[in-house]
């Protein structure tokens, strides 16, 4: 049984094709605002990859989704080590905490994870292509906390001035820095999409 609830078409496409939102081109306004519930039945047990294939087929059949991929050069960032050196901590060999990442709002904590996991999270947060150029191997523990950007808050909500911006927090708390660098990115370009007919 396949069940997906309250997802926009843009979210569905990004989920099943493993895209960051900045990689999707040609998404219409309703793709970002209209939510759908999806239910499907499988003949016998199905793996995760088989479920993904089912959703891709449904997107093509019900939404008439057609697309192509192309490489475009976008403004991006490199994650590099700051002047004072990395502040990422090597895990304690006796720490029983399992490897993983937890995030709540503008706070993220990692245990025994490679820098690539941090880069993947940050890339989704800033929605700009991000490449790891730290040269740091192995796994690390870290904590990172930052303030909500003023532009994303409501008109009557003031930013938390006790917390730094994400860029400043990376430097102050982890000893890392974001540098602007154009980079090639594979884009998912929608050629055609249509609202589905009623069931």
Buried b (16+ CB within 10 A) or exposed e, 32-46: eeeebebeeeeeeeb
Average pLDDT, the chain: 87
Task: Let me know: does 146 contact 169? Beta carbons within 8 Å.
Answer: yes
- The predicted structure's pLDDT at residue 198: 65
Find the range with the poorest average confidence among 5-14, 143-152, 177-186: 143-152
**Using the 8-state DSSP alphabet, how is residue 83 labeled?**
T
Output the CA angle 129-16-118, nearest 5 degrees: 40
**100-104/130-132 β-pairing:** unpaired
Find the range with the poorest average confidence among 11-15, 48-52, 170-174, 185-189: 48-52
Q: Which two tokens stand for residue 182?
A: 């154009």
With CA atoms as reference, report the closest residue to 174 among 121, 130, 118, 106: 118
Q: Which two tokens stand for residue 65?
A: 């989704």
**pLDDT tens-digit map of 8-57:** 999 999 999 999 888 999 988 899 999 888 877 777 787 888 888 888 99
Measured CA to CA, the distance from residue 36 to residue 6 in angstroms comes to 5
Q: Which two tokens stand for residue 145?
A: 């906390």
Q: Which two tokens stand for residue 138?
A: 């192995």
- The predicted structure's pLDDT at residue 149: 60
What's the first-to-final CA gap in the chain, in angstroms? 18
**pLDDT tens-digit map of 128-137:** 899 999 999 9
Measured CA to CA, the distance from residue 157 to residue 116 in angstroms comes to 34
**pLDDT tens-digit map of 72-126:** 999 999 999 999 999 999 999 898 999 999 988 889 999 999 999 999 989 888 8
Tell me the C-alpha to C-alpha distance, in Å, between residue 1 and each of 7, 40, 121, 172: 17, 6, 29, 47
């Amino acid at each position: 049984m396949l069940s997906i609830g309250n997802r926009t078409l843009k979210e569905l496409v990004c989920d099943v094709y493993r895209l960051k939102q900045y990689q999707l081109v040609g998404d219409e306004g309703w793709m970002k605002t209209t939510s759908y519930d999806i239910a499907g039945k499988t003949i016998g047990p199905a793996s995760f990859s088989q479920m993904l294939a089912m959703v891709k087929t449904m997107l093509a059949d019900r939404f008439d989704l057609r697309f192509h991929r192309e490489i475009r050069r976008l403004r991006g960032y490199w994650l590099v080590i700051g002047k004072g050196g990395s502040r990422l901590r090597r895990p304690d060999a006796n720490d029983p905490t399992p490897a993983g990442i937890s995030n709540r709002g503008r706070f993220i904590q990692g245990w025994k994870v490679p820098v690539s996991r941090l880069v993947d999270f940050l890339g989704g947060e800033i929605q700009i292509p991000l490449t790891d150029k730290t040269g740091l191997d192995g796994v690390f523990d870290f904590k990172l906390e930052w303030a909500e950007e003023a532009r994303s808050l409501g008109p009557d909500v003031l930013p938390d001035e006790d917390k730094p911006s994400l860029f400043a927090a990376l430097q102050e708390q982890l000893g890392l820095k974001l540098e602007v660098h154009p980079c090639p990115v594979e884009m998912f370009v929608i050629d055609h999409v249509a609202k589905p007919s009623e069931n």
